[in-house]
Amino acid sequence: MKEYKTSQIRNVALISHNGAGKTTFVERALFNTGATTRMGNVQNGTAVMDFEEEEMARNSSVAAAIAPIEWRDHKLNILDTPGFADFIGEVNAALRVVEGALVLVEAVAGVEVGTELVWHAAEQQNLPRVIVINKMDRDNVRAQRALNSVRDNLKGNFVPLQLPIGEGPSFKGVVDLLSMEARLGDKDERSPIPPDMVEAAEAAHMAVIEAAAEGDDALMEKYFEEDTLPDEDIVRGLKLAMQQGLCVPVLYSAPQAGIAVVPVLNAIMRLFPAPDEVGPFTAVAANGDTVEHPVSDSSPLAAFVFKTREDPYGKMSYLRVYGGVVESDSRVWDANADSEVRVGSLQLLRGKEQIPIPRLHAGDIGAVVKLGETGTNDTLCDRGRKLKLEAIQQPPPIAQVAIHPVSQSDVAKLSQSLNRLVSEDLTLHWHTEQATHETILAGMGNTHLEIAVKKAQQKFGVNMTTSVPLIPYRETITRTAQAEYTHKKQTGGAGQYARVFLRVESLDDDAGFEFASEIFGGSISAPFVAATEKGCRQALDAGPIAGYPVVGVKAIVYDGKEHPVDSKEIAFQTAGREGFKKAMMEAGPIMLEPIYMVTITVPSDNMGDIMGDLNTRRARVLGMDQDGTKSIVRAEVPLAEMQAYSADLRSMTQGRGVFSMVFQNYGRVPSHMQEKIAAEARARREEHNTH
């Protein structure tokens, strides 16, 4: 592939609700531009972009993939993203490294929840957007209804740059409102505007000019004087208006049949800014200063790793260059790891295909294998000019599973494979839950987690089973109490003796543990006070009700007794531990459970069902908001009630609801539930001990 300068590059992400035809669009673009000789198909697993095993099995994308499309002396780096909400992490990564987003709206369904989700993600990055009303050839398409759905559900000044010629199976092409001619069929043939559309086209053309004039004051003046604008000015004005968020062009396409795909490629090339047209990039220098440099080959080197993928050939790091030129077979500095890394041979990626290239210019996107310790979000730079680019923002996880390695060899490989999984996917997290001794994998939904587990099997050969995680309860007390404990052992040899008087006081439920001594006059000496504290701390791992960690307690040793010969530190540890448990039992012990702040967004029609359902989940509703046709509820809900929420919400709303959840605090378990939970925990422990 030929080398392209920064100004000839366009980086765009295709984003949409699940299944709006993103991958098919890219397959068509690859085929049309001669990059492939047969058009790939999502359904039969031949799509260049859906090359992961899981994608072929599901006939749907699960990861972002890149297609460099050579088009009229430009290179369009198109990032095809997955539409399924579980993979929003891939969308966020793609949006971070592009200058524009093509938002596909399925022509029959109109705007869907996933459309809104990715729309907001692109909006947060201030990216210029184009709407493509897609799959125009489907039965029952009503183009006007689709456009209305865009206007009703998304915020923006939506300006059609085309009029569709026919709709549904009779979709033939589009009227291009810039050149004022028709583009027909899969050969994109030029033809005059159909006579019955001339009038509508004239009116729509004026609307385009007006939108363009708003992009720039000078253009607006020129437009007022001359009542029209030359073509180059219209494109320039639209581009400026898009960058200021003043205008969102609307196009129509049917990529499966290949109709009106070329005009979309033209729009990408003409309307989205080149990487050097969006102003300088911002980075943090070694001294902590924020610095700016133009996106240019002559700026200091700054290449951002936005994705990492385990490939049969090794670790593949996806790079976006902001400043300077990355050369094959060079040495660069990883500013985050603060170490030198060797760049082997650089590649352009087309799906999984690797095209070796000598260098990657500022603004371009490529990949490199086996980049040492470098991970996603790291910046590669010059050793002498260290620069760090801002990390990709990802949402907190909303689903969890407990994972159990199957065999002894799986146990041995577990943590290493989990580390590799999470380094490939920054919306995936794992930890060992101290309260339940379970290994927890957390992510963006059940499908996300299922795929991660499969990946561990397929890519790393680790077999594991999953289960619904146990809730990591805590135990605490509700009042002050005291206890006295004497530890005495005087059977032959050296004896042991320790006596302590302890008081426990309740702290905030989310506080940890505190210890104090009120020993005056030396009834126990300092080393034994310390040993008593150590004993109390030993008791924190397993509380007296059901063996969960103890929080929110202050223990005070206020008296005691020691023996000149038989008192030893170990004796005071035992007395501290047992005395603490005894005092806790007297202090109204209760169980605490994790409470999450949950935000649920659903079509307003579903609101009644959602509220009714929340009632059964012990939720405390904090507020409700209306946003267009959507309702948003915020509620505090115990984790124990949220275990299967993503599936439940999907079935309550036919997939039209979304939610997020963030840990908030520990709350009290209602007393009528406590005994049952405690009994189950004890039974589990007994079963565990007998095995």
Ligand X SMILES: Nc1nc2c(ncn2[C@@H]2O[C@H](COP(=O)(O)OP(=O)(O)OP(=O)(O)O)[C@@H](O)[C@H]2O)c(=O)[nH]1
Contact between 134 and Mg ion by CB under 5 A: the answer reads: no
Contacts of 94-97 with CB under 8 Å at 24 or more apart are 94/13, 94/15, 94/64, 94/306, 95/13, 95/15, 95/121, 95/122, 95/125, 95/127, 96/125, 96/304, 96/306, 96/392, 97/11, 97/304, 97/306, 97/320, 97/365
**How many residues does the structure list for the chain?**
691
Instruction: Please give the C-alpha separations between residue 581 and each of 189, 542, 558, 679, in angstroms, as whole numbers.
Output: 84, 10, 16, 18
557 burial via Cβ count (<10 Å: 0-12, 13-18, 19+): buried
Q: Pick the binder of ligand X from 8, 11, 16, 496 (CB under 6 A).
A: 16
Q: Closer to ligand X by CB, 108 or 607: give it.
A: 108
> Which residue is at the shortest CB distance from ligand X?
83
Q: Closer to ligand X by CB, 255 or 589: give it.
A: 255
Q: Which two tokens stand for residue 428?
A: 């995936």
Q: Pick the binder of ligand X from 8, 32, 36, 60 (CB under 6 A).
A: 60
Q: Closer to ligand X by CB, 43 or 690: give it.
A: 43
Instruction: Please give the C-alpha separations between residue 312 and each of 122, 192, 415, in angstroms, as whole numbers.
Output: 32, 52, 20
Q: Residue 257 and residue 171: Cα distance in Å, rounded? A: 10
Contact between 135 and ligand X by CB under 6 A: the answer reads: yes
Q: Residue 264 and residue 176: Cα distance in Å, rounded? A: 11
Tell the smallest beta-carbon distance from residue 50 to ligand X (Å).
7
Q: Closer to ligand X by CB, 16 or 77: give it.
A: 16
Q: Closer to Mg ion by CB, 87 or 666: give it.
A: 87
Strand order through the sheet with 481-489:
481-489, 496-506, 553-561, 513-517
Contact between 61 and Mg ion by CB under 5 A: the answer reads: yes
Strands (E), 335-378: 339-343, 346-350, 353-357, 359-360, 365-369
Tell the smallest beta-carbon distance from residue 238 to ligand X (Å).
25
Q: Pick the binder of ligand X from 61, 296, 299, 436 (CB under 6 A).
A: 61
Cα dihedral sign, 197-198-204-209 = positive
State the Rg of the chain over Cα: 31
Q: Which does 43 bind (CB under 5 to 8 A by kind): Mg ion, ligand X, none?
A: ligand X
In which residue are the tokens 């999953």 written?
466
Kindly indicate which of the ranges 133-141, 306-314, 334-342, 386-394 contains the residues binding ligand X, using the contact rule CB under 6 A: 133-141
| Total residues interacting with Mg ion, rule: CB under 5 A | 3
Tell the smallest beta-carbon distance from residue 50 to Mg ion (Å).
6
Instruction: Please give the C-alpha separations between residue 308 and each of 24, 52, 76, 358, 524, in angstroms, as whole numbers.
Output: 24, 14, 21, 21, 59
Q: Which two tokens stand for residue 270?
A: 């003409």
Q: Pick the binder of ligand X from 52, 86, 99, 137 (CB under 6 A).
A: 137
Q: Pick the binder of ligand X from 68, 82, 173, 657 (CB under 6 A).
A: 82
Kindly indicate which of the ranges 56-64, 311-319, 530-538, 631-639 contains the residues binding Mg ion, using the contact rule CB under 5 A: 56-64
Q: Which two tokens stand for residue 457?
A: 């099997």
Q: Closer to Mg ion by CB, 12 or 498: give it.
A: 12
Q: Which does 380 bind (CB under 5 to 8 A by kind): ligand X, Mg ion, none?
A: none
Q: Pick the binder of ligand X from 8, 21, 132, 357 (CB under 6 A).
A: 21
Tell the smallest beta-carbon distance from residue 100 to Mg ion (Å).
19
Identify whether the C-beta of residue 546 lies closer than 8 Å to the C-beta of residue 506.
Answer: no
- Within positions 195 to 254, which residues make up the interface with ligand X, using CB under 6 A? 254
Contact between 43 and ligand X by CB under 6 A: the answer reads: yes
Q: Pick the binder of ligand X from 24, 33, 77, 296 (CB under 6 A).
A: 24
Q: Residue 395 and residue 168: Cα distance in Å, rounded? A: 38
Cα dihedral sign, 448-134-629-245 = positive
Q: Which does 366 bind (CB under 5 to 8 A by kind): Mg ion, ligand X, none?
A: none
Half-sphere exposure of residue 649, counting CA atoms within 13 Å on the CB side? Answer: 28
Q: Which does 87 bind (CB under 5 to 8 A by kind): ligand X, Mg ion, none?
A: none
Q: Which two tokens stand for residue 648?
A: 């439940």
Q: Closer to ligand X by CB, 83 or 560: give it.
A: 83
Q: Pick the binder of ligand X from 23, 374, 377, 573 (CB under 6 A).
A: 23
Q: Which does 16 bind (CB under 5 to 8 A by kind): Mg ion, ligand X, none?
A: ligand X
Contact between 20 and ligand X by CB under 6 A: the answer reads: yes
Contact between 44 and ligand X by CB under 6 A: the answer reads: no
Q: Which residues pair with 314 in a beta bridge?
A: 311
Q: Pick the binder of ligand X from 10, 22, 183, 448 (CB under 6 A).
A: 22
Q: Which amino acid is at 345?
A: S
Kindly indicate which of the ranges 1-9, 16-24, 502-510, 593-601 contains the residues binding ligand X, using the contact rule CB under 6 A: 16-24
- Within positions 250 to 289, which residues make up the interface with ligand X, using CB under 6 A? 254-256
Q: Pick the binder of ligand X from 13, 42, 182, 453 (CB under 6 A).
A: 42
Binding pattern for the stretch 13-32 against Mg ion, x by CB under 5 A and - elsewhere:
---------xx---------
Q: Residue 558 and residue 107: Cα distance in Å, rounded? A: 75
| Total residues interacting with ligand X, rule: CB under 6 A | 21
Which of helix, strand or coil describes residue 55?
Answer: helix
Q: Residue 367 and residue 345: Cα distance in Å, rounded? A: 9
450 burial via Cβ count (<10 Å: 0-12, 13-18, 19+): middle
Tell the smallest beta-carbon distance from residue 43 to ligand X (Å).
5
Q: Closer to Mg ion by CB, 16 or 354: give it.
A: 16
Contact between 40 and ligand X by CB under 6 A: the answer reads: no
- Residues near Mg ion, by CB under 5 A: 22-23, 61
- Residues near ligand X, by CB under 6 A: 16, 18-24, 42-43, 60-61, 82-84, 135, 137-138, 254-256
